[in-house]
A and B are shown apart, each in its own frame.
Chain A
Amino acid sequence: MISQLLDIVTSAAILYAIAVGLLLVFGVLKIINFAHGGLMTLGGYAALVTTQFGLNPWLAIPAAALVGAVVGMVIERVVVRPLYVRPLDAILATWGLGIIIGQLITIGFGRGVQFVQSPLSGTLEILGEGYSQYRLVLVLIAAALGLALSLLLHGTRLGLDTRAVIMNEDLARGLGINSTLVRFITFAIGSGLAAVAGALITPLSSVDPNMGVPWLVNAFMLVLVSGASLVSLLVACLVLGGAQVLISSLVSPVLGGITIAVLAAIILRVRPAGFARG
C-alpha cells in the first residue's frame, strides 16, 4: 500500500521532469518537439560519459543540461525557426532530428545497452517498508525543477516576456518584446530540461540509442491535456501517472503502458481544454 503510493508519487515526478521541457516549448512555440526523445537520449549518454570519466555521478545533471541546451540552440536556429508558420512540418522536422541524434549516438557509442552508475543506491525505511532512495530524491529534483521554472516565469523579466508570448504573441511583439529571442531561449531551456530528464532516468534503467522514444508519446499526451500550465501538468502527471501505476500493478503491465495515452486521448475528446482551466 505504502509502496504503491510512493510508486505513484515517484512515477508522477519522473513524468513531470520529462514533460516539463516539452510543455515549455509547446506553450511558447506552439509546436510539439518530436526531438524531445532524442534530446533525452543525449542526456542519458551525457550521464554515461560523465560517470565513465570517473566524475561524481551528480555532475551528470549539469553536464546533460549543458549538452541539451547547446544542441537545442543549434536545432532552434537551423531547423525550427524556419518552420514557425508550418507547425505540422515542425513536428516532422523535429522527428527527423530525433532520428539523426539516435543514429549519431549509435555510430558513436554502439547500439548496445549500457549501464550508468547511480548517484545514490540503497533504500530508505518509510513506515516499515524499504523504498529506493534515488526514486525519492527524484521527487525532490522534479519539485525543484518545477519551482525553478515557476520562479523564472513569474519572477524575472524573461519570464514576463515569455508569459506574454504564450498568451498572445502578436500583441507581445507589438509591445516590443523580441519574441524570436524568447522562442530561442525557451527552446534551449526546453532542450536542456529534456536532457536533464534523460540523465535523471538513466540510473533507473539503462542507456541505449532509442531510450527516449518510449517516453515521448506519454509526455506529449500529458502536455496536450495540460495546456500550457505548470500546475495542470502536475495534476495530469499525478492523475494519469497514478492510473498507469495502478493499472500496471492491478491489471497488466502491458495495458499500463498505454493507460496515459488512451486516457488522455479520451479526456481531450470529451473536454478539449483537458486539465487546464478553460
Chain B
Amino acid sequence: MAEAAGAQGAAITRRGVPIPLLVLLAAIIAVAAGPYVLDTYSVNVLVRSLFYAAVALTVDLLWGYLGILTFGQSAFFGIGAYAVGLISTHVGFTPGLAALSLLAGIAASMLVAGIVGWLAFFYGASALYASVISLVLPIVVVQLLFAGGNFTGSSSGLSGFDSFDDVSVETWFWIAGAFLIVVAGCAWRFVASDAGRVLIAVRENEQRCQYLGLDTPRLKIIAFVATAAICAAAGYGFACYTTVVSPEQAGFVFGTELVIWVALGGRGTILGPVLGAVLIDYESAQLSGDYPFVWQLIIGSVFVAVIVLFPRGLLPLIGDALRYIGPKVRPAVPPELVELPMHVVAGTTGPALAIHGVAKHFGSLKVLDGIDVSAAAGELVSLVGPNGAGKTTLIRCIADGSERSAGRVAINGHEIGGMSPDRCVRLGVGRKFQMANVFDTLTVAECLQMARIRHGFPSVLRRASRIGLPRPALHVIRTTGLDHALMTPARLLSHGMKQALELAMVLALEPSVLLLDEPTAGLTKAERTLIGGILVDLAATERLCIVLVEHDLDFVREISSRVIVLHQGRIVLDGSVDDVVNSDLVKQVYAGGGHGVGAAA
C-alpha cells in the first residue's frame, strides 16, 4: 500500500510529465465536458456520486493511510446536510443564511468528531474499539434525528426547502466535480508530503511512533476532526442540490457503503476510492432499478473476494500491471543528511534517572518489588539477571508512566507520574526495543525523519530534501553504512542493520536517558563490537545515561561502568564490573539456585 502511495509521487511518463498531473488534467477535462456528453439522467446521478466520492476519500485517508477503520463518516455528511435543511426549513434561505448553514454544519460535525475522537482514541485503545465507536456514531445520530419529531422531520426527513433554485443540474455537476478535484488534489498533495508519511508510520507501528514522542491519539483526533469538516461540506452541497435530507444520509448503511467503495477501489491510494465511489454509485443507480437484489449480491460477493484475495483493492492491481509494461519510475533522490548543532542541556546537578520503590504486580504475582536505582549522566549501567528477573519490565516502567504499580520514577528531576510514552520521551527518555522496532514499509530516510518529528512537525505540502540529525545518530548511520541505503525500505534491511537503524532513530530523539533492551541480540561478533564502541563513546562524550539489558556477560564486562543484578524482581547487587564478576551470589543466581539467593540477599 505504502509503495503504491509512494510510487504515485515518483511516477512519470517517458516525457517527464508527472502522472498525477496527467490524472488531474484528465479529471478537469472530464468534469468540464461531462454535461455536454452525458444525458441529463446520468448527470443527475453523477452529481451525487461526485459528492459521495469526496466523502469516500476521507474514509480512505483515515483507514487506508492512518489505519482507522471508520463506519462513521456518513454521520458528518448527514450533519452537514441537516444543517442547511434545518436552517432553510425553519429560518429561511438567504445568501447570508446559506453561508451560515455551511459554517454551522462544518462546526457541528467538527465538534461531534472531537467528542467521538476523544471517546475512540486514547492511549491503549484498540483499533477494534475505535471501529465499533465509529459504528455507534451514525446509529446515535439517526436515532436522534428520529427523536426530533417535526423539527427534524423524523424518519421521512425534510424536503422541498429553499435552496439555490436557479442553479442548473449542469452547474451542480461542475460544482460537485470541482469540489471533488480540490479535495482529491489536496489529499494527494498531503499524502505525498512528509506529514503524509506520518500517517503511514502510525498505521504501520503506532507503538514506535509513541516512543518517538508522537501523541498518536491526538493526531488521530485531529485527522478525524479535519475529515469531518470535508464530509459536512459534501453533505451541505448534496442537500442544497437535492433539497432533501433524510436520516439514511447519516446512517451506518451509507457508512459501510463508503468503506466498500474504498476497499474495492484501493485503500491507501487517492484515485482508487474516487473511482470506486463514482463507478459503483453510478452503476448502482443504473442497475438497481432492474436488478436491485442481484446487484447488491454482486457487490457483496466482489467485496468479500477482494478483501480476502486482494486486500489492497483493484486499482493497485491495475497499477502494478501498468507499471510492469509501462513507464519506468524515476529513482527518487535520497535526502541529504545534515549534522545538527548539539543542544547544550542546562546542567542539572541531580541524577539523570532516579527510581524509588518501584514495584509491578500482576494480581498477587510480584514481578518487580522495591526497586531503587539512581544513575547519573555519563554512566553506562547494565541490567543483568536470568530470564524472568524483571529486566524488561523495569525498562518499561521507566519509559511508560502507566506501567508500574507503585513507586516513583524521575527523569532529570522531573517525575514521570502517569505519563504516556510520548510524554516520557519529551522528558528525555529514548527506548530501543528488544526486537528491532522500525517502520517496515518506510524507507530508512523516512524512518529517520519520523524520529525527528517531536522537534518540528513535518510539512503537509512537500518532501524535505535534507534531514537534520544530531551527531550521535549520524555517527551510527555512517559507521554502519546505512547512509548508502537511505532509500531502501526498512523491511529489506538485514537484522543487524535494522537494529542499527532503530538505535539511530532513538538517538535522533536526543535523549538524555537511553534505554536499550538487548541491543546486540542476534548480531554478529563484529556488529556487537561496533555497537559496544558506539555506546561507550556516547556515554563518555555526549554524557548520556545509558541503561542496558544484556545477557552476554562478556559484552557487559567490556562496556559497563556499573552493573545491576536483578533476580526474582529484586536488586540483588549493584556495583562495579569487578564486584559482580567476583560475586558468588551472581554465580549462584545464574546457576539457577533459587533457594540460596534469598538467604544470601
Contacts and interface: CB of A to CB of B under 8 A. Distances in A.
Interface of A: 32, 79, 82-83, 86-89, 91-93, 95-97, 99-100, 102-104, 106-107, 111, 217, 220-221, 224, 252, 254-255, 257-258, 261-262, 265-266, 268-269, 272
Interface of A is mostly: helix
A41 to B, nearest CB: 14
Contact of A252 (B135, B147, B301): B147
B143 A93 contact: no
Given A88-B128, A221-B132, A272-B124, A258 B300 contact: no
22 contacts: A79-B308, A83-B307, A86-B311, A87-B128, A89-B308, A92-B259, A95-B256, A96-B300, A99-B299, A99-B300, A100-B301, A103-B296, A107-B297, A220-B135, A221-B136, A252-B147, A255-B143, A261-B140, A262-B136, A265-B119, A269-B122, A272-B124
Contacts of B131: 88, 91
Nearest to A261: B136
Contact of B303 (A99, A106, A220): A99
Contacts of A269: 119, 122
A27 B296 CA distance: 31
B293 interface: yes
Q: Which of A86, A100, A221 gathers most chain B CB within 10 Å?
A: A100
Contacts of A104: 297
A102 B293 CA distance: 9
Contacts, number: 98
A262 B122 CA distance: 17
Contacts of A221: 132, 136
Interface of B: 69, 119, 122, 124-125, 127-129, 131-133, 135-136, 139-140, 143-144, 146-147, 252, 256, 259-260, 263, 293-294, 296-297, 299-301, 303-304, 307-308, 311
Contacts of A32: 128, 132
B499 to A, nearest CB: 24
Given A93-B304, A99-B300, A217 B139 contact: yes
Contacts of A272: 124-125, 129
B366 to A, nearest CB: 18
Contact of A92 (B69, B139, B296, B301): B69
Nearest to B297: A103
A134 B144 CA distance: 32
A107 B69 contact: no
Interface of B is mostly: helix
A138 B431 CA distance: 55
A217 B135 contact: yes
A176 to B, nearest CB: 23
A217 B72 CA distance: 13
Contacts of B139: 217, 258, 261
Nearest to B260: A96
B293 A106 contact: yes
Nearest to A108: B293
Q: Which of B131, B146, B297, B304 gathers most chain A CB within 10 Å?
A: B304
Contacts of B252: 217
A272 B69 CA distance: 19
A230 B544 CA distance: 51
A83 B304 CA distance: 11
Contacts of B69: 88, 91-92
Nearest to A269: B119
B207 to A, nearest CB: 16
B215 to A, nearest CB: 17
Contacts of A88: 69, 127-128, 131
Contacts of A102: 296
A103 B308 contact: no
B300 A262 contact: no
A134 to B, nearest CB: 27
A46 B300 CA distance: 22
Contacts of B136: 217, 221, 258, 261-262, 265
Contacts of A87: 127-128
A84 to B, nearest CB: 12
A169 B500 CA distance: 32
B308 A258 contact: no
A82 B143 contact: no
Q: Top 10 closest A-B pairs, CB basis? A: A99-B300, A96-B304, A103-B297, A254-B147, A96-B303, A100-B300, A93-B307, A261-B136, A258-B143, A106-B293
A149 B316 CA distance: 45
Contacts of B256: 95
Nearest to A87: B128
B206 to A, nearest CB: 13
A254 B125 contact: no
B133 A255 contact: no
Contact of B304 (A97, A107, A111, A268): A97
A92 B255 CA distance: 12
A266 B140 CA distance: 13
Contact of A266 (B119, B127, B300): B119
A92 B258 CA distance: 12
A88 B126 CA distance: 11
Contacts of B124: 272
A272 B124 CA distance: 9
A204 B498 CA distance: 60
Contacts of B140: 258, 261-262
Contact of A103 (B125, B260, B300, B307): B300
Q: Which of B124, B125, B294, B300 gathers most chain A CB within 10 Å?
A: B300
A265 to B, nearest CB: 6
B348 to A, nearest CB: 36
Given A100-B300, A254-B146, A258-B140, A268 B307 contact: no
